[in-house]
Amino acid sequence: MTNRIRKAAAATAGACALSLAVSVPASAESAAQEDGKASVSVFHGVPGLTVDVFANGNELLPDFKPGTLTEPQPLDPGTYDIKIFPDGEGPDGTPAIQKSVDVPAGANATLAAHLDAQGTPTLTAFVNDTSEVPAGQARLTVRHVAAAPAVDVRAGGKPIVRDLTNPHEKSLEVPEGTVNADVVLAGTDTVAIGPADLDLAEGTSTVVYAWGSAKDKNLALKTQTIGGMNSAPNGVDAGESGAMASDNESATAWLGWSAAGAVAVAGLLAARRMRARGD
């Protein structure tokens, strides 16, 4: 980890309450009624900051590396005390981030640990839109979580999203097929990321994260695909790829984050640890 990022993470350390007061899509509500759980993924988009994640005093995710997107896991609603340490420095050291996380039933969400526009580690919660997609269509979302200025997103060389800033997202519905997309500095033809081809299957939602640091020249893309828009969604880590999209601010109706942070959510991580142990 660089000293700059270590100091920035330490500067944002401290306990704070997080309330995920979301407006849950209808399909997610149906799933919640069946099992009473949320569905949560975590994306680690802070370059150079490998961490160990603890919840309620237990190590739940060691060696969590930048660029990693966890698979979605069912999460029991409740409150979790999350402490995040630089790799190998917990649990007796001083956490880089400490948060109390209140997770409601029925949410389909991704928590993104990333850099803000100034390069300070932070965390943003996104609600994944799992509403029905029309026949022959796919949903495409781009999330700006990079230490970079405003950007435009282009498909086939033509802007489809303009002036997207960190930490916002924009979405649109597009015909199924392959999209060639890149990210340019807003109002210019200066390519910041890409180009890259993205295959958009009918009835799926593809989310693309633009992450990293423009100053450090490590900007990159990460994709997340959520399927089954007519039923309970299943998010999967689709690896590195690219493409983007238009406004869906209503999908981020929970915004209860009150301070800069980094990565979190214990129940998700506990499920991963239990599976690794073979429980």
User: pLDDT tens digit string along 105-137?
Assistant: 888 888 888 999 999 888 788 889 989 999 999
The verdict on 92 and 64 lying in the same domain is: yes
The verdict on 120 and 201 lying in the same domain is: no
Q: Determine the pLDDT at residue 269.
A: 40
The verdict on 160 and 259 lying in the same domain is: no
Q: Determine the pLDDT at residue 9.
A: 52
Q: Determine the pLDDT at residue 93.
A: 86
The verdict on 115 and 226 lying in the same domain is: no
Tokens 């689709």, residue located:
238
Q: Note down the domain range covering 141.
A: 131-247
DSSP states along 217-238: T--EEEEEEEE-TTSS-EEEE-
Provide the strand spans (E) within 104-187. Answer: 108-115, 121-127, 137-147, 151-155, 158-164, 169-175, 177-185
The verdict on 209 and 272 lying in the same domain is: no
Q: Go through the chain and tell me how many residues it has.
A: 279
Angle at 192 between CA 3 and CA 219, to 5 degrees: 30
The verdict on 158 and 25 lying in the same domain is: no
Distance (Å, whole) CA 45 – CA 135: 33
Per DSSP, the three-state class of 5 is helix
Distance (Å, whole) CA 193 – CA 213: 11
The verdict on 146 and 57 lying in the same domain is: no
Q: Which amino acid is at 217?
A: K
The verdict on 29 and 106 lying in the same domain is: yes
Share in percent of the chain as helix, strand, coil (round to 5): 15, 45, 40
Q: Determine the pLDDT at residue 34.
A: 57
Distance (Å, whole) CA 161 – CA 176: 18
The verdict on 112 and 148 lying in the same domain is: no
Distance (Å, whole) CA 200 – CA 179: 7
The verdict on 146 and 182 lying in the same domain is: yes
Q: Determine the pLDDT at residue 29.
A: 41
Structural domain tally of the chain?
2
Q: Determine the pLDDT at residue 61.
A: 78
Distance (Å, whole) CA 216 – CA 45: 14
Q: Determine the pLDDT at residue 32.
A: 45
Here the tokens at position 221 are 């893309």
Here the tokens at position 231 are 């039923």
Distance (Å, whole) CA 242 – CA 206: 10
The verdict on 210 and 275 lying in the same domain is: no
Q: Determine the pLDDT at residue 210.
A: 96
The verdict on 136 and 272 lying in the same domain is: no
CA distances from 214 to 142, 210, 218, 244 (A): 17, 11, 7, 18
**Which residues of the chain are under the pLDDT cut of 70?**
1-34, 101-103, 230-279
